[in-house]
Structure 1
Amino acid sequence: MTTRRTHRRSRSMFSARSRIAATLLAVTALVVPGCSSGGPATSTSSAAETPKLAALPGAIPSALAPYYGQRLKWRACGVPDFECATLRAPLDYTKPGGGDVQLAVARKKATGPGKRLGSLLVNPGGPGGSAIGYLQAYAGIGYPAEVRARYDMVAFDPRGVARSEPVKCLDGKAMDQYTLTDVTPDDQREVDGLAGEYRKFAEGCGRQSPKLLRHLSTVEAARDMDVLRAVLGDKKLTYVGASYGTFLGATYAGLFPQRVGRLVLDGALDPSLSSRRLNLDQTAGFETAITAFAKDCAQQTDCPLGGPKTTPEQVGQNLRAFLDNLDARPLPTGDADGRNLTESIATTGVIAAMYDEAAWQQLRDALASAMQQNDGAGLLLLSDSYYERDAAGEYSNLMYANAAVNCLDLPPAFETPDEVRRALPAFEKASPVFGKTLAWAALNCAYWPVAPAGEPHRIEAKGAAPIVVVGTTRDPATPYHWAKALAGQLSSGRLLTRDGDGHTAYGRGSTCIDRTINAYLLRGTAPADGTRCS
């Protein structure tokens, strides 16, 4: 199902698979965790009413000195030219002596030539995406050579993610059932079934990770990042964050404005919005993406949803009719575990392809196989890739960490099924194709076993060096106006715009974007606010 998560980045060049705010059935509500559950979906608080993230004192508290003063023991970690270490951080920053979390760190040293500029920390988003996996598979080998020459490329998996004491919730079979659950319920029995799956998911997380679940907030992850900065020997943080990684980076800037170096926030989130508003905005973002796909599809000879005379609206209607039909009559997939192509799995597959226009051909092929040959294998493959399910039927920790962070960061978008029902018209207006699915997907945090620790807030980071905020005009997962809002909140924000499709901008083929960001990272030359690229 889809719930709120920051979406995956594309696989072009050095971008990685960050995730979206709505993930079918599994996660929580959007990138910036949650929002207040009260009020209509279309309302937002005024700037005067929204609290500001307060900066922490500049001096390091004596109780945290042992963490800031630790020395990392680097070791080989199986990937040539990379080395790994373990960072200690307090489980609870308000009680530094009450236990630690062990955080996995990886780096690839600067290759030269040229003077070393320090460490460049990267995060692909999620929440729940493995930054170490991203570094080793993409950033450490695919970032521009001149950037890799001057910086040590560094990543850490945030607490609860991948290699850093991962949150656990369900086994593979239970997760299969979760992803197959109908997320467009037609009657009370199906509503109860969906709510029951959300409860099982939440109870599993609470049962298997009871202590950790209370300390997985973005604020805590940002504080971990400052410990890492100090341990690496950097006076200021240089950082590139995508999708949810922009919220993590902006939070760091808000807490430690005096330690901001060169920050790139690509595919930005607006931290001032409620969870419900975030979900609604993201729903509209996916409608924008499917409209762009529909326009392109209608011009292709292999489009199974229409031909040259078919309007984007008709393509969307044909897709919606196909998904509705799956609700009653799932298709075979040939899956060894007996999974058929249900409406929920197919919708996840379609959403997965919206992150990057390079995946549109694969989506057309998968839809053609399903609609013309009754073979759902292609859409199942897209869905499995999105959920990070392997051939053995096991899932990565991505979806569990995603829910854990989102549900802790903000109050739930909806607290009861009745609230979802009342909001359905707004969601279906925002997206005739995805609205109903994404509205019901936003219910999952209602059953979370840990109370939310955060609330919507503005991040100003007064006194910080220039921060580059990047937005893509037709980004499905992090709508462009979020980037404009974050750049406007940050006292030193510089908005850089990519006019295009897909999620995020850096490394996606725009010479203008890449040249501008590289100049900032290498020479500290921040673009003028409002710079626009195609």
Structure 2
Amino acid sequence: MNAPHSSRPFRTLGAALASAALLSSGCSADASAPPAASMSKKAVPAALRPYYEQSLSWRPCGGADFECATLKAPLDYARPGSGRDLSLAVSRKKATGPGRSLGSLLLNPGGPGGSAVGYLQSFAAVGYPTRVRARYDMVAMDPRGVADSEPVTCLSNKQMDAFTQTDQTPDGRGETDRLVAAYKKFAHGCEARSGRILRHVSTVEAARDMDVLRAALGDRKLHYVGASYGTFLGATYADLYPHRVGRLVLDGALDPTLSSRRINRDQTAGFETAFTAFAEDCVRRTGCPLGTGSVAAARDRLSAFFTRLDSHPVPTGESRALGEPLATMGVISAMYDETAWPQLRTALRSAMRGQGAGLLSLADLYYERDTDGSYANLMYANPAVNCLDLPPAFRTPAEVKKSIPAFQKASPVFGGALAWAALNCAYWPVRPTGTPHALHAKGAAPIVVVGTTRDPATPYPWARALATQLSSATLLTYDGDGHTAYGRGSSCIDNAINTYLLTGRPPAPHTRCR
């Protein structure tokens, strides 16, 4: 979604949790292995062969039998071999056995900007089913511009604190000018600090890096699980290299035919759907901070609370007060996962009584702000990728103002803030290189697209659309709440995906799980 003051359409709470628990990657001894002959030389342009034929030097890192390596990729695929290369961070945990090895399973947790290496080392290497880990080397690569792969940076931590507190629902010319100035300062900071890579962090380039990694790993086909934005990355790979597709799971899908404005409006409606589910649950409980009446009354109560915070922030026990911008993000962060609803109820109750620490903590989780005040690179990589992949949703504040009624219709609670949040790419220093278009991957092996019916960040119709576009896709539906479905408690979903990963057999068409 396009969060206030960022452009984070497919942000996953799981990625935030994984990055917060990122393990140390200290390294020691070396072990090299040449890639297998995974494709003919004729299939690779001569200038790219040194990248495809490189050997990865693996070294212990992060504990618990993890290994790390560095993949070399051209900064600009139009000029490979120019000497301007990128160093991309790769990590793996080898298959535990027993059973015949199925090769590598590449993971991406979403974002864009989520650290895949952090996700692997903090969750996936132990959180994935034992029978999957027995047969696959679990592999992750931080995409270009992300985490340990030449990360995009834009602002100091202090500047970032100010940025996240800028009023996201301007009431007049002065507040609008301040919001625009904040977006411009952010963009100029990215150009000043990360100008070398800023023009080369598109999803297409990241997908091309994945194919270089596939070859360097010695795999003939790419096996992949991508969540949220990772579905767009995986579908882009499949469209570029359909005959190199192995087993692809795309969970929480994006519809690549949508414009940035449509993406933001759809997601605004998705968060309203998630809030409605939260409110329905809340008002049935004693002590619900939004009352015990109707959902409409609960919505009005939250909107009124946000309005009060716009002029009267509440203390949090630290230097940052809880105003409307951070409170909005605190609520939105809990919409990604229904298991966060109890925490949100407690945080809202405290904030309405004048203590905002709980909601601030939820906002910090979303923004990946650590307790020491530092921000993860996701806040910078996210707009860098999104503003390159698609033309901006809006080009002027006047365009935003005209669209606010449509956004508020989609969500009376979040519509105004999310409309203004979509203005950020208007001031981006790099022209977009991508446009909305369908992805077909003609000739690819069977692909599984997973959609959750009440997913707030990647609405279910997007999964249906992507499954229709991809020529070999099967749609697997989870009738439930939250963002993404695999590994979230549905044995029906998990069994279907595990069977596909282990056998290549996709679920039956129209399979629906609860």
User: TM-score scaled to structure 2, two decimals?
Assistant: 0.94
Check if 1:448 corresponds to 2:428. Answer: yes
How far residue 529 of structure 1 moved from its aligned partner, in angstroms, is 2.4
Give % identity: 68
What is the match of residue 479 of structure 2?
499
How far residue 197 of structure 1 moved from its aligned partner, in angstroms, is 0.2
What is the match of residue 76 of structure 1?
60
What is the match of residue 122 of structure 2?
137
Give the counterpart of 2:202 among 210, 217, 223. Answer: 217
| 8 Å CA contact 1:17, 1:129 repeated in 2 | no
Counterpart of 1:401, as a letter, is A
Check if 1:161 corresponds to 2:141. Answer: no
What is the match of residue 96 of structure 2?
111
Cα distance in 2, alignment partners of residues 392 and 173 from structure 1:
11
Cα distance in 2, alignment partners of residues 89 and 7 from structure 1:
25
Cα distance in 2, alignment partners of residues 94 and 252 from structure 1:
18
Counterpart of 2:12, as a letter, is R
What is the match of residue 8 of structure 2?
5
What is the match of residue 287 of structure 2?
302
Structure number with greater CO (CA < 8 Å, separation at least 6) is: 1
How far residue 155 of structure 1 moved from its aligned partner, in angstroms, is 0.1
Give the counterpart of 1:67 among 47, 51, 55. Answer: 51
Cα distance in 1, alignment partners of residues 471 and 352 from structure 2:
51
| 8 Å CA contact 2:120, 2:139 repeated in 1 | yes
Cα distance in 2, alignment partners of residues 285 and 8 from structure 1:
13
Deviation per residue, 1:240-271 (Å, 9 max, x gap): 00000000000000000000000000000000
Deviation per residue, 1:467-526 (Å, 9 max, x gap): 100000000000000000000000011000000000000001100000000000001111
Where 1:406 maps in the other structure, the secondary structure is helix
Cα distance in 2, alignment partners of residues 229 and 150 from structure 1:
17
In the TM superposition, what are the counterparts of 1:482-497 in structure 2 within 5 Å? 482-497=462-477
Cα distance in 2, alignment partners of residues 237 and 198 from structure 1:
38
Structure 2 portions without partners, runs of 5+: 20-40
In the TM superposition, what are the counterparts of 1:400-439 in structure 2 within 5 Å? 400-439=380-419
Give the counterpart of 2:498 among 518, 521, 524. Answer: 518
Cα distance in 1, alignment partners of residues 252 and 492 from structure 2:
16
User: Alpha carbons of 1:270 and 1:130: their partners in 2 closer, same or farther (altered >3 Å)?
Assistant: same
How far residue 139 of structure 1 moved from its aligned partner, in angstroms, is 0.6
Check if 1:355 corresponds to 2:339. Answer: no
How far residue 10 of structure 1 moved from its aligned partner, in angstroms, is 4.7
User: Alpha carbons of 1:171 and 1:145: their partners in 2 closer, same or farther (altered >3 Å)?
Assistant: same
In the TM superposition, what are the counterparts of 1:15-414 in structure 2 within 5 Å? 59-98=43-82, 99-307=84-292, 310-335=293-318, 338-372=319-353, 374-414=354-394
Counterpart of 1:359, as a letter, is A
Where 1:370 maps in the other structure, the secondary structure is helix
Cα distance in 1, alignment partners of residues 275 and 18 from structure 2:
19
| 8 Å CA contact 2:87, 2:149 repeated in 1 | yes
How far residue 5 of structure 1 moved from its aligned partner, in angstroms, is 2.0
| 8 Å CA contact 2:331, 2:344 repeated in 1 | yes
Cα distance in 2, alignment partners of residues 356 and 8 from structure 1:
12
How far residue 17 of structure 1 moved from its aligned partner, in angstroms, is 5.1
| 8 Å CA contact 2:238, 2:245 repeated in 1 | yes
How far residue 6 of structure 1 moved from its aligned partner, in angstroms, is 3.5
Counterpart of 2:369, as a letter, is R
Cα distance in 2, alignment partners of residues 178 and 188 from structure 1:
18
| 8 Å CA contact 1:8, 1:17 repeated in 2 | no
| 8 Å CA contact 1:258, 1:464 repeated in 2 | yes
What is the match of residue 23 of structure 2?
none
Counterpart of 2:416, as a letter, is K
Counterpart of 1:180, as a letter, is Q
| 8 Å CA contact 2:336, 2:482 repeated in 1 | yes
Counterpart of 2:476, as a letter, is L
Counterpart of 1:242, as a letter, is A
Where 1:209 maps in the other structure, the secondary structure is helix
| 8 Å CA contact 1:58, 1:258 repeated in 2 | no
Where 1:283 maps in the other structure, the secondary structure is helix
| 8 Å CA contact 1:9, 1:356 repeated in 2 | no
| 8 Å CA contact 1:121, 1:239 repeated in 2 | yes
Counterpart of 2:309, as a letter, is L
Deviates more, 1:111-120 or 1:75-84: 75-84
Deviates more, 1:1-10 or 1:341-350: 1-10
Deviates more, 1:407-416 or 1:382-391: 382-391
Cα distance in 1, alignment partners of residues 430 and 62 from structure 2:
37
| 8 Å CA contact 1:245, 1:265 repeated in 2 | yes
Where 1:168 maps in the other structure, the secondary structure is coil
Deviation per residue, 1:8-31 (Å, 9 max, x gap): 4354xxx87599xxxxxxxxxxxx
- Structure 1 moving runs of 4+ over 3 Å: 6-11, 15-19
Deviates more, 1:523-532 or 1:204-213: 523-532
Cα distance in 2, alignment partners of residues 349 and 133 from structure 1:
23
Counterpart of 2:340, as a letter, is A
Deviation per residue, 1:227-248 (Å, 9 max, x gap): 0001101100000000000000
Structure 1 portions without partners, runs of 5+: 20-56
Question: How many matched pairs?
Answer: 489
Deviation per residue, 1:272-310 (Å, 9 max, x gap): 000000000000000000000000001111311011xx1
| 8 Å CA contact 1:327, 1:343 repeated in 2 | yes
Where 2:56 maps in the other structure, the secondary structure is coil
